[in-house]
Structure 1
Amino acid sequence: MPSQLLKEFLDENDIKYVSIMHSMAFTAVEVAKSAHIPSRELAKTVILNVDDELVMAVVPANYKVDLDILRQTLDTKKIQLAKESEFTPHFKDCEVGAMPPFGCLYDMDVYIAESLSEDDTIAFNAGSHLEAIQMNYKDYENLVKPRFIFLDN
C-alpha cells in the first residue's frame, strides 16, 4: 500500500506527481527496471545511524553505499546502516525497504547525492513494493530541503 502520508503531503502542497505502478520489486534496481526508469535516476532511501541519530541517505538506485565515504562526507566517526528494528517504527505507513525519501515526514535529516539534482525529475518508492512516484526535482528539494553529499560511484 502506498504511503497515504506522502500522498496527502504532496496534495496539500499542490505538488504535481505521477504514480507509477510496477510489478513487485524489492531492490531499487528492480524497481527501476520494472518502472522503466534508468537506475541512475531512481532514488533509493538508505537509513543510517549517524552519531545515534537516524538519517536518510538518498542515492541513485545503482549506487552501493560506502560508509567510509559517507563518514568522511558527513564528518563523523560513528556511522552505520540502521537496523530494521531501529527504523521500522518510524515508517508505520510503509513497507520495509520502500520508504520514500521524505525525512520531513519522519523526523529525519536527509542527505542526497548531488547527482540526483542534475535531472528535472526524481523518482522513488512510494512506500510500497508496487508503486513509485515521479515528480519535479525542484519541488522535492523545496519540500525536503536535503543536504547534498558528493559521491563517486
Structure 2
Amino acid sequence: MFENYHPVTSKIVEILTTNNVWFETFEHEPVRTSEEASKVRDGYTIDQGAKALIVRVKISNANKKFVMLVLPGIARFDVDKVKLLFEAKDIRFATEQEVDEITEGVKPGGVPPFGNLFDLEVIADPSLFENEKIIFNAGDKSFSVGMYSKDYKEIMNPQIESIT
C-alpha cells in the first residue's frame, strides 16, 4: 500500500500498528506548508498540524548538531528560547541538502515528527498537546497521518520544552 511513498512512511505506520494505537491516513495533493496541508486534511485544523523542523544548533565552533523541533502548524519557534535551551551560539534551519542527507531523501514539507527514525533528538512544544488529535506529513508531501496527541507523546517520548 505504501510502495509509492518514501520508506519512512511504512516505518511510521508499522510503529503505530505495533503500538496498537488509533490512527488514520490521508492521501492528498502534495503540500509543503502547514497552510496548504490544513486545506486538504478534512476534519483537522492548522493548529492540529504537527510541524517537524530540522534545525542545526551551534553550541561552539567544534560542537554542532541537528535536532528536530515539533510544534503546532500555526506556530513559529522562538530562536532565543531554543538558543537558551541548548546554550547555543547560533541556530539555523537545515538546508534542503542537509534534510535530504539526514532523512535519506525525505523532502522538506514531508518530514514527519518522528526524529528517532533519523537519530535526531526531538523537542516538542507543550502547546502541541493541547489538541486531542494531531496530524502530520508522514515522509511524503502527499501522505498524512492523524493520531491522538497523547499516543504520539507516549510513543515518541519527546523532550517537552516551550519553544514557541
Runs of 4+ in 1 over 3 A off after TM superposition: none
Q: Say whether the 8 Å CA contact 1:4–1:93 is kept in structure 2.
A: no
Aligned position for 1:132: 144
**Matched residue type, 2:99:** F
The equivalences for 1:115-126 within 5 A come to 115-126=127-138
Shift of 1:65: 3.2
Q: Say whether the 8 Å CA contact 2:96–2:107 is kept in structure 1.
A: no
Q: Say whether the 8 Å CA contact 1:5–1:93 is kept in structure 2.
A: no
The equivalences for 1:63-74 within 5 A come to 63-74=75-86
Distance in 2 between the 1:143 and 1:68 partners?
28
Shift of 1:103: 1.1
SS of residue paired to 1:126 = strand
SS of residue paired to 2:99 = helix
The correspondence for 1:22, drawn from 10, 19, 28, is 28
SS of residue paired to 1:135 = strand
Structure 1 unaligned segments of length 5 or more: list them.
none
Q: Which has the larger radius of gyration?
A: 2
Q: Say whether the 8 Å CA contact 1:21–1:35 is kept in structure 2.
A: no
**Matched residue type, 2:69:** A
Deviations 1:22-65 (A, max 9, x none): 22211121101211321111111110111311110111111233
Distance in 2 between the 1:110 and 1:56 partners?
5
Let me know the Cα RMSD of the aligned residues.
Answer: 1.8
Aligned position for 2:102: 90
The answer to whether the aligner puts 1:31 opposite 2:37 as a matched pair is yes
Distance in 2 between the 1:93 and 1:16 partners?
27
Aligned position for 1:147: 159
**Matched residue type, 1:4:** S
Shift of 1:151: 4.1
**Matched residue type, 2:122:** V
Q: Say whether the 8 Å CA contact 1:54–1:87 is kept in structure 2.
A: no
The alpha-carbon distance between structure 1 residues 114 and 94, as it changes in their structure 2 partners (threshold 3 A), is same
Deviations 1:62-94 (A, max 9, x none): 123332332134432232111122231232363
**Matched residue type, 1:123:** I
The equivalences for 1:1-16 within 5 A come to 1=5, 3-16=9-22
Q: Say whether the 8 Å CA contact 2:31–2:37 is kept in structure 1.
A: yes
TM-score of the superposition, structure 1-length normalised? 0.88
TM-score of the superposition, structure 2-length normalised? 0.82
Distance in 2 between the 1:107 and 1:99 partners?
13
